[in-house]
Every structure is written in structure tokens, then in C-alpha cells.
Amino acid sequence: MSPAILRSRIGRICVAIIGSTPEEMLAKAEEAARENHFLEFRLDYLPKPLLALPKLQTFLCERGDVTAVATCRRVEGGGKFKGSMASELEVLEKAAEAGCHLVDLEIETAEAIKHAQIDKLRSRGAALLISYHDFHTTKDLDKVFERIRPFEPEFIKVVSTAKHLADNVAMMRFLERVRDLASVVGICMGDQGLISRVLGLRAGSVFTFAAATVGEETGPGQIAARTLEDVFRVDQIDAATKVYGVVGNPIKHSLSPLMQNTAFRRETVNAVFLPLQTTKLTDLLTLVREVPISGLAVTMPLKEEILPHLERTDPLSEKIGACNTVVRSQDGKLYGFNTDVAAIVRPLERRLQLKGAKVLVLGAGGAARAAVFGLKDKGADVYILNRTPEAAQKLARQAKAKTFKRELLAKTAFDVIINATPSGMHGVKPASVLNADELNTRLVFDLVYNPIDTPLIRMAREKGLPVITGVEMFVHQGARQFEIWTGKPAPEEEMLRVVVHALRQQAEASKAAEAPAKK
């Protein structure tokens, strides 16, 4: 098949198919092929790859719409195949004979074998993809390209690891430089490399790789095909697509990308919203400048640290000393806003009179600052309890609030207790910030939204206390961010619906995972 015809057959997403038996692998391929016709068969995941090829041949004969990549990556190259280079070549040759349209050969193997062996592999009818993987860093991408180029493969695949957000910029600049010289696939692995998996296609990557489903990733940071298509809408990203993101650490479990991308789709805004995991502001600012990023949702631990880098902030952010929303103007200057305050105050105002209310705020970070200043503005009597007393004292001085000692909790009554710490957040320990006997209050508000039922919320319900979950605040502040970025009314009901649905699905998946362990 000619390279031109092959290019016309392949999609923008190649779905990696794994399995411990040929039957399992082909069943997964059948399932994936209902939505994606471009599949990578990871033959190295099978104990005896050669035994799978007759079945693979039958599958490809029956599914003429499928374009198949055969990969048999050795352990030395980050794969699972324990055989020799000669055995790897035999598997790839026979995979080509079985009807696979591309074979993926590691550069280390290509350089170690004779040219005649590569010619023999090519004579089997499949296009050659020569790949390079660096599981540690991103560097010398042009050098890697020039290393592969003499073999004249139909496709060149360069995969590095993003240790910083800026590594994605390096990958995308590389793709822009070489896109007219060869058919190149470029990806950064790792949680911080997600940007390259979404925006790399725009920069010149011929396609990108995706997992068939969540939990079946074949590389660090790989995303499920459905997520790439439905959440990030990679098929619709073009040169005019504006890029936004949520920045902080941890960010992996954030539902901001799902919520904001849903809003963009609903309101037909040509934009994409990405998770940007970092604790380094310099790293973030490089990305904002180079991509460029049009707007940011800022989370822990950068809400306060970002302020000196903003051209101007709204009076609220300035007063609080924390900003959760950034807009980049056309001249590249950054402007800050705070949508946290209203998202904390309004749910409370709907339930009680805040003037004179006695409120305990747990924490002294960006979210806590929003709560304390916002409640003081409404005339509440605010107390701060924090693990580090010095931070609580500093915030109390600034907001004209009071600090509180934990040993007094059990014998002090409050109207509201607000958790503004990450305790209880998915993947964060300790899970609970207070004990049941310390919940001496009329109402509990947990700003953590994932999971919906945090340990604190569950504890409050068991005591018969009314609660406000973090979802209400999360969606409210996100809706205001959307309006600041786009100038359009936010589809708040739709944003709430997808967030609640996702959280319920996560909770069900967690229960299902725990059930076998308890038996």
C-alpha cells in the first residue's frame, strides 16, 4: 500500500489494543473497531505472539475497514517482549504477512540489525514506522529525528517524557519544524505530557495514541480514546482553537476539563481546556506565553503565588491575596479574577443569615482566604483553624478574623464549619480533617468536590446535620470563569449534570473495586 493511500486510511487516533490471550486481544479489537478503525496491536503483551497471528489475519480479512499497526516492543525498549531482536523481527515480519499495514520497529533494533533484514521486513508489504522512546526526559528531539531519518521509514515516531509543562512546547516546536520533512508522530509521556497528546496533532503529529479504555494504558499518561474524542475533541482542534487550562498540583483527578469542555461544546466555542500539572510558576508562565494559553483556572498551590505576575487583578483578588481565574489579553498581559468568593458565599446565603453567623474555616490557603474575606464582608463572625498556626494568625490579622484552637472544638458551637483544606479529596491523605465529636455546628460545607460524599460530609450526615457539598461551589465558580473567558452565559445546568454524573460513576467504580477485596 502506498504511503499516500495509507495516510488517507489512518485516523488521528491510533487505539492501542492489549490482551493476555489472542482471544482477549481480538475481542477488545472488535469492540474498539466499532468507533475507531485505526488500531495498534501490542503483540508484546502476549506470552507467545506468533500464535496469535493466524487469528489476527482472519480478523483483518473480515474487517477491511481496520488499519493495523503491529508492535512487539522488547523489555529493553520499555515493552513486554522478552525475546531477542531476531525473534522480534520474526514477529513483525509475520504480522505484516498477516495483513498488518504498519510495523513498529524500535530505533535500537534498526541500528543493530543489517540493512538486508530491514529490507526483508519491508518486502512483506507493511509500511515501516521507526520509533524512539525516552522514559526519563525530553531532549535533543532534532537529533533523534536525524538518527531515524537515514532508514527512510514511512513514519517516524518520537516519544519523550515531560518532566515540565514546557517540555510539551519543545515537542510541539519540533513537530512544527519537521512536519514538512517526514510523516512524524510526536508525543510526550507522563501526566505533564497530556498537552502534547491533544495539541500535538495541531503542531504536525500525523496521529496520536490512545488507550482502548481507562486502565488499559500502554504508556505513562496515555488517555482513553473516548476521552480524547469526547472531552478534548481532538478531531475539531485547529489553528484557531483557543487553549485554556486548570493549573495546580494535584490535578490528575480534576473534573474542570470535563466541565469546561462540555460548556465550550454546548455554547459552540472553538476552545479546549486542559489539565496542567505543576507547582512551578516559571514552568507555567513559559507554557502560557508559548502555546499561548488564553485563560487559566488556578488551584493549589498557586492561587497566591501567581499574583505578582498579573498586570492587574479585580479588587476582590487584590483584597483576598488569592486569584483563581486568569485571562490572557491579546497583547500577552495577564489579568486576575476571583470567582471562589461568590461560589462560597452564595450557597450559604441561600441557607442562613450570614450577618452575625459564627463560622469556623478550616485551612489558610487560597480557598480559605476566599471564604474568610467573603464571609467577613457579609458580617459573619469568622474563626480560622489551621494545621500551621502561623498561617492562620497571618490570615486572621489580614481579614480581621480570629484564630481557633482545636482542643476547644468539642465544646464550642458554630453556625457553619467550612473545610477549605484538601483533606478528603480523591487521593489526598488524611481523609478526614475533624472527628465526629468536633462537629458541633448547624451546617457543614466541604469545599472538596471529588468525591461528592467526602468523609466529612458522610460524618455530618450520620449526625443528622445539613450539608453543602463542594460540587455546588465547584460548578458555580467554574460557570463564572467560563463567562469571564468567553463573554457568554454559562450552561450551568449542563455543567452540573456532567460533573455529578462523572462523580457518581467514579463512586460506583470505587465500590466495585473494593467489593472483591472485602470478600
Active site residue 426: no
| Set 28, 133, 242, 426: catalytic member | 133
Whether 355 sits among the annotated catalytic residues: the reply is no
Strand partners, 133: 159
Side chain identity, residue 481: Q
Q: What is the DSSP letter of 465?
A: -
One of 157, 164, 426, 476 is an active-site residue; which one? 157
Distance CA 248, CA 265 (A): 24
Judge whether 222 is annotated as a binding position.
yes
Q: Is 232 annotated as a binding residue?
A: no
Other Cβ atoms closer than 10 A to 356: 10
447 among annotated binding-site residues = yes
CA distance 208 to 197: 6
Is residue 479 a known part of a binding site? no
- Residue position matching grid coordinates 532508514: 151
Q: Annotated binding residue at 335?
A: no
Does 379 carry a binding-site annotation? no
Residue 42 pairs in a beta bridge with 71
Burial class (CB in 10 A: 0-12, 13-18, 19+), 458: middle
Count CA within 13 A, CB hemisphere, residue 511: 8
How far apart are alpha carbons 457 and 204 in whole angstroms? 47
The catalytic position among 94, 303, 426, 476 is 303
Say which DSSP state 53 is in.
Answer: H
Tell me: is residue 134 an annotated ligand-binding position.
no
Q: At what angle do helices 85-97 and 49-62 cross, to 10 degrees?
A: 20
Three-state DSSP at 16 gives strand
364 is in an annotated binding site: yes
Strand pairing class (381-385; 441-446): unpaired
CA atoms within 13 A on the CB side of 14: 27
Q: Is 40 a known ligand-binding residue?
A: yes
Type of residue at 439:
L
Joined grid coordinates for residue 456: 466529612
| Strand ranges, E, within 315-431 | 325-328, 334-337, 358-362, 381-385, 402-403, 414-419
Q: Is 510 annotated as a binding residue?
A: no
Establish whether 478 is an annotated binding residue: no
* Crossing angle (nearest 10°) for helices 470-486 and 256-266: 50
Residue 197 is assigned to a ligand binding site = yes
388 marked as part of a ligand binding site: no
256 is in an annotated binding site: yes
Q: Dihedral (C-alpha) 48, 49, 51, 54: value to the nearest 10 degrees? A: 170
Is residue 37 annotated as a catalytic residue, yes or no? Answer: no
97 in helix, strand or coil?
helix
Q: Has 41 been labeled as part of a binding site? A: yes
407 is in an annotated binding site: no
SS3 71: strand
324 annotated as ligand-binding: yes
On whether 449 is known to bind a ligand per the annotation, the reply is yes
* C-beta of residue 242 within 8 angstroms of C-beta of residue 274: no
d(C-alpha 125, C-alpha 350), whole Å: 69
Please, what is the end-to-end C-alpha distance for the chain in angstroms? Answer: 53
Residues involved in catalysis: 133, 157, 303
Known binding residues for 3-dehydroquinate: 40-42, 73, 197, 218, 222
Known binding residues for shikimate: 254-256, 299, 324, 340, 449, 477
Known binding residues for NADP(+): 363-367, 447, 470
Known binding residues: 40-42, 73, 197, 218, 222, 254-256, 299, 324, 340, 363-367, 447, 449, 470, 477
